[in-house]
Amino acid sequence: MASKRELIDRSGESMIVNCYKGCYFYRGGFPIPFEEHMKRVENMKLRSDDVLLCSYPKSGTHWLWEVISMIINEDLEYRERVRGMDLLDFSPMSLLESIKSPRVLACHFRFQFLPKEVLTKKPKLIYILRDPKAVAVSFYSMEYGMKTVRSYDGHVPVKEYNGKWEDYLELFLNGDVEYGSWFKHTLGWKKAIEDNPDLAVFMLKYEDMKRDPVLSIQKLSEYLGKPVNAERSQAIADACSFTNMKKVNSGTKADGIGWKEGGNMFRKGQTNNWKEWFTVAQNERFEDILKSNMNRSDVST
Ligand code: A3P
């Protein structure tokens, strides 16, 4: 049963998220019941040349979406600033259907919420993974900073979250945030990849992209059937560097959020920035929970 859920931190600050089949989703409101939106996604028509980029939020989705778009279109055009990223999470079907092939679609869904035709049309499927400590910090910065988000008809206001980092971290560790538990999302995807070898999902890590973008882009381009040489890979890596993407996209459609003062989708773009946020005790607690969660097998909701 779809509904809204208020997720309240230990100091009483809260966020309101959409809830469907026991999982938490996007914070934005919809002009139709959220359940109806999810059913439309489930039943949407895919094309065999679609590329579907999946991630837990804050894992580098915007970055990779632009890289993939440049690879498959064989150019160095920035697309996000013009149209915004095509997320299934909040885009109306009319918009998704109007996109010319090859489409690069994205979503933050767990595997079971993807369009059913994924199993028959077998689009290229890519999953990007990021260090959950970096995700937690990046997510807090976004959740704290957002005032409006994209929905069917432009932007809609969200209930502002004014919580403290240490309180948000507890919500994150409990999975009481948009898109639920990072642990369950990640484990669910790993299991889905193992259970569906014929889908040949390409998994890559944010940290590997940062360390060696040229190599990562080359591997990705091979998976996409559009292999690029080192020179072209370097050109894409440069065009999509953090500095360039921040410059090109800030304040445009790519930034699908209306921010409080100082907020930005392109915040730091680093692998170690989380160290400036975590106390020693928070880090130890995170490590303990990470270890115990990554061994669990009950990842269904
Ligand atoms: P930080 O908040 O740590 O800076 P998503 O696109 O999934 O929402 O992820 C957002 C995160 O990716 C943000 O992390 C953002 O700065 C980072 N990011 C965006 N573009 C990037 C790029 N070109 N290179 C590296 N990181 C990038």
What CATH code is carried by the domain that includes residue 178?
3.40.50.300
- In this predicted structure, which of 152-166, 167-181, 282-296 has the lowest mean pLDDT? 282-296
Q: Are 99 and 86 in contact (CB under 8 A)?
A: yes
Tokens 């990779």: give the residue. Answer: 64
Count up the domains in the chain and report the number: 1
Q: Which protein residue has the closest C-alpha to ligand 1 atom 25?
A: 269
CA angle 57, 63, 65 (to 5 degrees): 85
Task: Tell me the β-bridge partners of 255.
Answer: none
* DSSP class of 87: B
User: Is pLDDT at 82 greater than 90 in this prediction?
Assistant: no
3-state class of 177 per DSSP? coil
Active site residue 108: yes
Give the nearest ligand 1 atom to 273 CA.
3
For ligand 1, pick from 236, 266, 271 the residue to mutate: most ligand atoms within 8 Å of CB.
266
> Residue 245 is part of which domain span?
3-299
Spot the catalytic one: 37, 108, 155, 185.
Answer: 108
User: Is pLDDT at 69 greater than 80 in this prediction?
Assistant: yes
For ligand 1, pick from 135, 242, 249 the residue to mutate: most ligand atoms within 8 Å of CB.
242
Q: Are 129 and 202 in contact (CB under 8 A)?
A: no
Q: Please tell me the pTM assigned to this model.
A: 0.96
Q: Which protein residue has the closest C-alpha to ligand 1 atom 17?
A: 269
Q: What amino acid is encoded at 135 in this protein?
A: V
Long-range contacts, 232-239 (Cβ 8 Å, 24+): 235/76, 236/67, 236/70, 236/71, 236/76, 237/67, 237/213, 239/66, 239/70, 239/76, 239/78
CB under 8 Å to 228, separation ≥6 — which residues? 71, 217, 218, 221, 236
Q: What is the reported pLDDT for 295?
A: 75
Instruction: Return d(Cα 102, Cα 95) in angstroms, integer.
Output: 14
User: Is pLDDT at 1 greater than 90 in this prediction?
Assistant: no
User: pLDDT tens across 116-148, in order?
Assistant: 999 999 999 999 999 999 999 999 999 999 999
Backbone angles phi, psi at 145, to 5 degrees: -80, -15
Mean pLDDT of the chain: 94
Q: Are 63 and 254 in contact (CB under 8 A)?
A: no
Q: Select from 128, 129, 141 the least CA-distant residue to 276.
A: 141
Q: Confidence band (pLDDT; 50, 70, 90) for 252?
A: confident
Q: Confidence band (pLDDT; 50, 70, 90) for 183?
A: very high
Backbone angles phi, psi at 272, to 5 degrees: -110, 10
